[in-house]
Amino acid sequence: MQTEALRLRQMMKCRTGPASVLAIASGKGGVGKTCIAANLGTCLAASGRKVLLIEGDMSLGNIDVILNINSKYNLWHMLSGRKSLEEIIHLTPEGLEVICGVSGFEQLANLNEFQRRRLLNDLSRLQENADVIIIDTASGISKSAIGFCLAADDVLVVTTPEAPAMTDAYATIKVLAGNRFAGRISLIVNMAETIAQGKKTYQQIARVAKRFLDVHVYDAGVLLRDERMIAAVRLRKPVVLAYPKAQISMSLMALAAKLGNGLATLPSGKRFFKKVVDWFF
Ligand SMILES: Nc1ncnc2c1ncn2[C@@H]1O[C@H](COP(=O)(O)OP(=O)(O)OP(=O)(O)O)[C@@H](O)[C@H]1O
Ligand SMILES: [Mg+2]
């Protein structure tokens, strides 16, 4: 019996194709994208998946702070030939692989054909070797943020119940729809005062997106405002590790389980990096 259980577990971990790609986006800044990305990545890695978290935000990125990473290297160091792919990947104690502050993509236009091919080969290897890739994109509707989202299988838009954040979340969904994004769009409401307020926020955005854009926005859930999220950032730890029994941690674990299952049902995120590279030309 025990052997069967073990076999099943191994089968469930078996990968059948390249990693699925989840991009975390928002219009407005400071709504909790990086906190959510770090916690989801940690939960998914703890569940046995091979997860790569890429910070797509160079100027304001702070994933290194939240995950207590002292990595000085990013994708640009690899692009310029100064570091290998392995050297720019940081591994957290929970087994989450992280690439910090990816400013390199904007420089792609300067590469020659040989460099571009080499880069694509290396990046494709990343996708072949992971189960899930999470991209923490920059706030706003910049070219790079949209490029990452359009290449992903699933875009998780983060908003808060405040009107400016809602308007900007809708604007992000509108740009995705305008660019004929073919993947799934989910919305998570963070820093809600109550679950009811969070649900209402989701319904308002989903209704408008359906009516004016004919886009179905999936409900990824509600995260309440919780002082422990702020305390965990101060401790430089994901809240799911710093306060595993807190309500916010339970909600994040549930979200990770839901997203993990959802990603498994999506068609494999083929050639994510090829799409990203093409976008920058
Ligand atoms: N549920 C929450 N409850 C309380 N505070 C929160 C919550 N989620 C995030 N925060 C706080 O909000 C701050 C900003 O979060 P975070 O850096 O993840 O936002 P962001 O969307 O990535 O910002 P940026 O747009 O600058 O990248 C965090 O430092 C954290 O303290
Ligand atoms: Mg951020």
CB atoms within 10 A of CB 163: 9
Distance 9 CA to ligand 1 centre (A): 35
Q: Establish whether residue 225 lines the binding site of ligand 1, counting it when its CB lies within 6 angstroms of any ligand atom.
A: yes
Distance 229 CA to ligand 1 centre (A): 8
Alpha carbon distances (Å) from 196 to 193, 221, 259, 269: 9, 11, 21, 34
Pull the structure tokens for residue 241: 């590790």
Q: What is the 3-state secondary structure (H, E, C) of 208-232?
A: HHHHHHCCCEEEEEEEECCHHHHHH
Q: Is residue 87's pLDDT more than 50?
A: yes
- Residue 69 neighbours by CB under 8 Å, 6+ apart: 63, 90, 92, 98, 100
Pocket test for ligand 1, best of 35, 57, 60, 249 (most atoms within 8 A of CB): 35
What local confidence, expressed as pLDDT, does residue 61 receive? 64
pLDDT in tens, 139-169: 887 777 888 898 889 999 999 999 999 999 9
What is the band of 197 on the pLDDT scale with cuts at 50, 70, 90? very high
Rg (C-alpha) for the chain, rounded Å, is 18
What is the band of 75 on the pLDDT scale with cuts at 50, 70, 90? confident
Write out the residues surrounding ion ligand 2, Cβ under 5 A: 33-34
| Average pLDDT score, the chain | 85
Contact between 191 and 225 under an 8 Å Cβ cutoff? The reply is: yes
Closest ligand, as measured to the CA of 223: 1
pLDDT in tens, 88-142: 899 999 999 998 876 556 666 666 777 677 777 777 888 888 899 999 988 887 7
- Indicate whether this model's pTM tops 0.75: yes
Ligand 1 atom with the shortest distance to the CA of 227? 4
Choose from 8-17, 46-55, 132-141 the range with maximum mean pLDDT.
46-55
